[in-house]
Amino acid sequence: MSFSGLIDKFSPVFDKSPYQSQEPLVRIQYVQRGNNIVAGRTLTNENYSNLIFIGKVFENTVGRNYLSADVWLDTTFPHVIYITGTRGSGKSFDLGVIIEGISELAIPSAIQNDSPPITSILIDTQSQFWTLKYPPNPSIPENKVQLDDLGKWNIKGNSLKKCKLFLPAGHEKITGDEEFFSIRADQIKPEEWCALIKEDTYSPQGHIISRTVDELSSDFDIADMQAFIEEASNWPGINDASRSAVLYKLDDYRRTGLFSRDGLQLSSLLVPGQCNIFLLRDLRNEDKALVTSFIARGLFTVMGAHHKKLKVDKFFSRDGEGNGLPSRVWLLIDEAHVVAPSDSQSPARDALVEYVKRGRDAGLSLVLATQQPSAIDDRILSQVNVTLSHRLSFQADINSAINRIPTKLLGSLKLNGVEIKEFGDMLRFLDSGECFLGDHNSSRTVMIKVRPRVTSHGGYSPI
Ligand SMILES: Nc1ncnc2c1ncn2[C@@H]1O[C@H](COP(=O)(O)OP(=O)(O)OP(=O)(O)O)[C@@H](O)[C@H]1O
Ligand SMILES: [Mg+2]
């Protein structure tokens, strides 16, 4: 597959930029024909399949100038992509751009270059991504602006073809089109329960909940856990106050409706090409983390076993039964510091650490967005291989974000003729939608402008 049919499909959009980098791009995955740059893999054998369009280079480069080159992101390999930036800098927008790229669209679009749709799960902590289901509506002023912008890029409005919205059971619907979901209590691990009730595993309450889960073993719900804990004969020598405390906390969970016997089956999400959006705004942070943990753990378990079997089948040249599972899944998490904070217990942390460790062999990618890079657990970030660094202000956040950029930082940049030497200061001056792309296949960070969204953007009514 080549870019040939797609050359000049997007407009140049801009022919000048206030940014002038002072350091040449010694190494970059560049395709001269059509002026394309690829992130996330090394280009070999003129293979340009599995690419999604994310934006354009927005710096004048000293030496060969790459200004306005189209920037594509690889979808062949499992990636860990880290998006950082202050409020309003464009992080959620980027998540939308990536989902549009990997999902099945209602109308074939040039933003996908021979890239078959990929199943995705989005942890939408602000419940704002339901608009991905709808094309921009010209009668809504904000969408009209978006359509004008798309026109400038020569890209058409679009919508996701297979998009499912999930809402915690009993919560107020947004579009009316959401499915309610709950989680089975017997699928939560003892350490996740401990994180939920904010107790250490080795504390008296932690011990009570861990033993309860172990004893009940399988096929139980919260009422069964409560009954087991209430039965005094099960707890010789254990303080009544500790048992009561666990009972209160469990009762709180019983009332949220988040748990039920007919909880979510992960297999219902693993439909090839489907985008599953979990609208979690109204949940408490620890519950958002629990849902994330449940999904991440389910994914590496199911997909890990799937890929192991595929490898064995391939080794013995067996056909392998198609079990209908997709070969790749992307998990995207907005406001990742909420579900995986470094400073407090979270049910999602261990699951996400395991997810990134096992992801490569299981066809699993992870995309994390955060406005507080310094507040996110570092072990999850150990495998980051692509970064999108938007505007940041606080030095602690700048330091943390920079630490994870998988290539050299740009050393010198002129903005409207004034030289900036510190990379942190370069980040401070970015406008929304502008960011530095970090990819270890390029010799340094490259400034890009993210493309407009093709689906309706913002929380506007699609009707
Ligand atoms: N690539 C872009 N092109 C055009 N407009 C953009 C782009 N990126 C962001 N914007 C504008 O900036 C606004 C804020 O972007 P976004 O919601 O992604 O911010 P955020 O970084 O997720 O902020 P928060 O931390 O508050 O969630 C968008 O609603 C949009 O108007
Ligand atoms: Mg956001």
pLDDT digits (tens, 9 = 90+) for 107-154: 999 999 999 999 999 999 999 999 999 999 999 999 999 999 999 999
Q: Which atom of ligand 1 is nearest to the CA of 128?
A: 17
The pTM of this model reads 0.94
pLDDT of amino acid 9: 78
Return d(Cα 224, Cα 222) in angstroms, integer: 5
How many Å lie between the centroid of ligand 2 and the Cα of residue 30?
31
**C-alpha–C-alpha distance, residues 206 and 385, integer Å:** 37
Q: Helices 222-230 and 204-216: crossing angle, nearest 10°?
A: 120
How sure is the predictor about 322, in pLDDT bands with cuts at 50, 70 and 90? low
The closest residue, in CA terms, to atom 5 on ligand 1 is 433
Q: Distance from the CA of 319 to the center of ligand 2, in angstroms? A: 44
pLDDT band at 462 (very low <50, low <70, confident <90, very high): very low
* DSSP one-letter string for 245-267: HHHHHHHHHHHHT-B-TTPPPGG
Q: Tell which atom from ligand 1 comes closest to the C-alpha of 450.
A: 1
Helical segments of 217-363, H only? 222-230, 240-256, 285-315, 336-339, 348-362
If one looks up domain 4-182+264-450 in CATH, what number appears? 3.40.50.300
The ligand whose atoms approach the alpha carbon of 459 most closely is: 1
Indicate which residue's Cα is closest to atom 14 of ligand 1.
88
Q: What does the pLDDT look like over 235-273, one tens digit per residue?
A: 998 989 999 999 999 998 888 889 999 899 898 999 999
122 alpha carbon – ligand 1 mean position (Å): 17
Q: Which tens digits make up the pLDDT trace of 61-79? A: 998 999 999 999 999 999 9
**Residue to mutate (ligand 1; options 71, 92, 94; most atoms within 8 A of CB):** 92
Nearest CA to ligand 1 atom 25: 87
Q: Which residue, among 328, 444, 318, 392, has the nearest Cα to 25 in the 3D structure? A: 444
Distance (Å) from CA 448 to ligand 1 centroid:
15
Å from CA of 93 to ligand 1 middle: 5
Per-residue model confidence as pLDDT tens digits over 347-393: 888 899 999 999 999 999 999 999 999 999 889 999 999 999 999 99
Beta-sheet strands, E only, within 58-148: 70-74, 80-84, 112-113, 119-124
From 362, 353, 359, 357, select the one nearest 380 (Cα to Cα): 353
Domain regions of the chain by residue span: 4-182+264-450, 185-256
Among 53, 58, 93, which residue has the most ligand 1 atoms within 8 Å of its CB, making it the best to mutate? 93
